Amino acid sequence: MKKTLVAAAVTAFAASFAAQAVARDYISIVGSSTVYPFATTVAEHFGKSTSFKTPKIESTGSGGGLKLFCAGVGVDHPDITNASRAIKPSEFDKCQANGIKDIVEVTIGYDGIAIANSKEAEQFDLTQKDIFLALAKDVPDPKGGDKLVANPYKTWKEVNAALPDTKIEVLGPPPTSGTRDAFAELAMEAGCKKFDFIKAMKKKDKKMYKGICHGVREDGAYIEAGENDNLIVQKLEANPKALGVFGFSFLDQNADKIQGSKINGVAPTFDTIASGDYPVSRPLFFYVKKAHVGTIPGMEEYVAEFTSDKAWGDEGYLTDKGLIPMPEDMRAKVAKSAKALEPMSKPESH
């Protein structure tokens, strides 16, 4: 009896969802502002080359996109979310709790996080330690000893005598952004670990360690510029003394106006990110709600377009937008898994 009731409920839900789907005959995509230009390019090609409608894409940030994606199943919720970082275990659990049992993870390629400024200004050559000292909320006391103080640094020269004597002013993404998460981990935390007494905290109190290494100052030196990376580029043009944080693709598309800072002596370029020499780089993703496949038209075809060589290959149209392709064998593996719509398992916490 119980099994019959459950089966009936599932059938009723499926029928209800199918009925709702009539109200939406296009793919709804949310998420990362970094992945947004790649996804919109794929969507345009998809809309022109198939009989399906062009997907509608909203730039909400990785965290904001996953929040919307994991809120539930049905046409009121997105089908796909883009992310410039991997889904967190807590987000995966939220999806599961809201009935999204099967999530397909698709890695699309790589991107570097650029710290850029106007071409009219001096190019910066930063270390990850410089970045941490310039932007962290609390830093080791400049007078010495194993204690932290509120960040006292006002200029880059105070952080490192080899840097310009200009005010620390960095425009960057908000906490909902995957770029912010990746920047905190790859740039800030990497610099934070250079201090042995902070590094030792990780074993004793992981939460405190993360709070110190990822905590960004709130005294005006770091300015949250929303999820619009193009706006940061415009502001850097207007203010040559400021620096901005965003994905490499935006640097690549605006190379006539802005320049990327070197990190540990390595400039952000297509080749240095592909080789792994540029230290502040990360993979990019999108996540598919398998429950919507077969109900929302065109989902499998959209995934096939994105994972085709003409899109993400070495000579694909996404490389013109700044995407750094994965090696060929990795692309083949991801494409096979994406085509089969293989659900991911719960990610491990870091």
Between CA 198 and CA 42 the distance in angstroms is 44
Name the pLDDT band for 198 (thresholds 50, 70, 90).
Answer: very high
- 119 DSSP 8-state letter: T
> Quick one: pLDDT at residue 196?
94
Rg (CA), the chain: 22
Residue 5 has pLDDT above 50, yes or no: no
Residue 210 has pLDDT above 50, yes or no: yes
Predicted confidence (pLDDT) per residue in 279-336, tens digit: 999 999 999 999 999 999 999 999 999 999 999 999 999 998 889 999 999 999 999 9
Between 349 and 113, the higher pLDDT residue? 113
The percentage of the chain sitting over the pLDDT mark of 70, rounded to a whole number, equals 93
Residue 122 has pLDDT above 70, yes or no: yes
C-alpha pair distances (Å), 3 with each of 8, 10, 291:
8, 11, 21
296 CB contacts (<8 Å, ≥6 apart)?
21, 24, 25, 26, 27, 28, 75, 79
Output the CATH code of domain 112-281.
3.40.190.10
Residue 117 · residue 236 · CB < 8 Å: yes
> Quick one: pLDDT at residue 322?
87
Residue 71 has pLDDT above 80, yes or no: yes
Q: Is the pTM of this model over 0.85?
A: no
Place of tokens 């003394």: 241
Residue 132 · residue 191 · CB < 8 Å: yes
- Span(s) in the chain for CATH 3.40.190.10: 2-111+283-339, 112-281
Residue 29 · residue 82 · CB < 8 Å: yes
> Quick one: pLDDT at residue 2?
45
C-alpha pair distances (Å), 139 with each of 131, 132, 189, 193:
11, 8, 12, 12
- Collapse the DSSP code of 252 into the 3-class scheme (helix H, G, I; strand E, B; otherwise coil) and give the result: helix
Handedness of CA 44, 46, 51, 57 (dihedral sign): negative
> Quick one: pLDDT at residue 23?
65
Instruction: Please state the φ and ψ torsions of residue 24, each to the nearest 5 degrees.
Output: -140, 110
Predicted confidence (pLDDT) per residue in 216-267, tens digit: 999 999 999 876 777 888 889 899 999 999 889 889 989 999 999 999 999 9
Report the half-sphere exposure of 223 (CA within 13 A, side-chain side).
15
Strands 258-260 and 103-118: antiparallel
> Quick one: pLDDT at residue 275?
87
3.30.70.100, 3.40.190.10, 3.40.1710.10, 3.30.2350.10: CATH of 2-111+283-339:
3.40.190.10
Share the mean pLDDT of the chain.
Answer: 91
